[in-house]
Chain A
């Protein structure tokens, strides 16, 4: 079945360490996104990518980095500069961002999430 796979499900980070969260999709979607969810709050956009080799900062990009070398993959690195990384991270994808998506009935599809904690 098509979908989005995030790994690992749980991740622990030591002080000063960079960690990378994996996101893979087999939906043939052009656009991919990373969101952060804190307890009792909605989702906030970290980064998004409309196409391979291109990505843009979202609302809370500081302390994070991404790459989009393949259409299927959009890994997120939480760097040591992110002082409060403990959160639930969700990856999403959609067929596009512009007009094609606007006039379709397709949603953003989400992965199962990665829960990141500090050791």
Chain B
């Protein structure tokens, strides 16, 4: 069975702190892909990153970085020097060759000024 676990329900940090959001996934597929989405209070889902299973390179985009480790089935997301605008719910999702996209339950990040 496929599963995505985001164990952190809510995280609060003070502005400029670094924060890591955890994502652990389960799948028997050898080829799969992982996403992170941001959901601000307005509700829309904003795409942040997609990583395919055959590409284990970590990625940095500005203050955002992602650490993909197949050995531990994790795809963690780090925000460096957090800002109030980063406050949102963040979802990790897993997909494979079928229609099935499995979303985690999300982590609510609150960045306090």
Given contacts A112-B43, A115-B43, contact A107 B50 (CB under 8 A): yes
Band of interface residues on A: 20 to 34
Chain B residues with a Cβ closer than 8 Å to the other chain, count:
25
Report the bound CA distance from A105 to B47 in whole Å.
Answer: 12
- Whether a CB of chain B sits under 8 angstroms from the CB of A106 is yes
Do most interface residues of chain B lie in helix, strand or loop, or is the interface mixed? loop
Report the bound CA distance from A105 to B93 in whole Å.
Answer: 14
Indicate the member of B9, B33, B91 with the most A CB atoms within 10 Å: B33
B interface vs A, CB < 8 Å? Answer: 4, 9, 31, 33, 35, 37, 42-45, 47, 50, 52, 91, 93, 96-101, 103-106
A-B contacts, 29 of them at CB < 8 A, read: A31-B99, A33-B99, A40-B9, A40-B106, A41-B105, A41-B106, A42-B4, A42-B91, A42-B105, A43-B101, A43-B103, A44-B103, A45-B100, A88-B43, A92-B45, A98-B97, A102-B52, A102-B96, A102-B97, A103-B52, A106-B50, A107-B50, A108-B47, A108-B101, A109-B47, A110-B44, A110-B45, A110-B47, A113-B43
Given A56-B99, A103-B52; 11 other pairs, CB 8 A cutoff = A33-B99, A40-B106, A43-B93, A45-B99, A45-B100, A90-B45, A92-B45, A98-B97, A106-B50, A108-B47, A113-B43
